[in-house]
Amino acid sequence: MLSDTHGNLEALDAVLEALADERIDRYLCLGDVVGYGANPNECLDRIIGLTSDVIAGNHDHAAIGRLDIATFNRYAAEAALWTRRQLTPAGRRYLGTLPYTWRKDDLFAVHASPANPEDWIYLTSHWLTDEAFDAMPGDIALCVVGHTHTPGIFEKRTTADRSRQIAATEVGMDSECRYIVNVGSVGQPRDGDPRAAYCIYDTAEKRAEIKRVAYDLETAQRKIRDAGLPEMLADRLEYGR
């Protein structure tokens, strides 16, 4: 499972290379394939070739004019307008077809939050995470999200009022608990670790693990600068912020 590639082809290729060494039956993409990075079309091509299990992110919608960029900060807005100009007609059409949510068996996926997916809520507080747990379909044990670019595992015991974050990058699921796993960001991590993040869910063992892989971030930075995108978008990659 991967999310928030944001047009960073070097990071995406490093993740796909790492995943090629694992036994992956199904790839799931949680949105924001484009926006910020210099290779939106190339990243879209990779994802389209990889899987049809793809959901929409807010930057995907901004890039096709479906989301008002007045809600974005000036760097994100500038990148969204740049991406809008770069996208091929086929890429634009494709982004317009993506659903807000995805589910299979006891796994549910949404870019931001299962509570009103189209509102792009950031799960940055206990309150909002609890709300997200309440909004999960009743038979769902695991919900995977992206959006904040901060990987994390949240657990809620069925008998408990509140959820808690687990201080680990891996969890074996307890049948008495439900989970929200933020898979982190491939192309623009913001947890202080510049390495690309992704997540593997073992459906047989019911284990989710967040993994990291280093990539050629100098090349990704150079492309952002050469494209005339905001300098800050290149700088932040090396800090993971």
For Zn ion, which is the closer residue by CB, 75 or 141? 75
CB of 193 vs Zn ion, minimal distance in Å: 16
Q: How many CB atoms are located within 10 Å of the residue 241 CB?
A: 14
3-state secondary structure of 146: coil
Which residues make beta-bridge pairs with 211? 198
| Footprint of Zn ion on 152-171 (CB under 5 A) | none
Among residues 1, 4, 113, 210, the one that binds Zn ion under rule CB under 5 A: 4
- List CB contacts of 97: < 8 A, sequence separation 6 or more: none
Residue 94 phi/psi, 5-degree rounding, is: -60, -50
For Zn ion, which is the closer residue by CB, 144 or 177? 144
- What's at 158, amino acid-wise? T
CB of 188 vs Zn ion, minimal distance in Å: 7
CB of 50 vs Zn ion, minimal distance in Å: 18
Specify the pairing of strand 142-145 against strand 107-110. parallel
For Zn ion, which is the closer residue by CB, 65 or 172? 65
Q: How many CB atoms are located within 10 Å of the residue 218 CB?
A: 12
For Zn ion, which is the closer residue by CB, 56 or 142? 56
| Separation of alpha carbons 2 and 24, rounded Å | 12
Task: Count the residues of the shown chain that bind Zn ion, applying the rule CB under 5 A.
Answer: 2
| Footprint of Zn ion on 9-68 (CB under 5 A) | 32
CB of 176 vs Zn ion, minimal distance in Å: 32
CB of 227 vs Zn ion, minimal distance in Å: 18
Q: Does 191 bind Zn ion (CB under 5 A)?
A: no
For Zn ion, which is the closer residue by CB, 33 or 217? 33
* HEC assignment per residue over 10-53: HHHHHHHHHHHCCCCCCCCECCCCCCCCCCHHHHHHHHHHHCCC
CB of 73 vs Zn ion, minimal distance in Å: 12
- Residues lying near Zn ion in the complex (CB under 5 A) are found at 4, 32
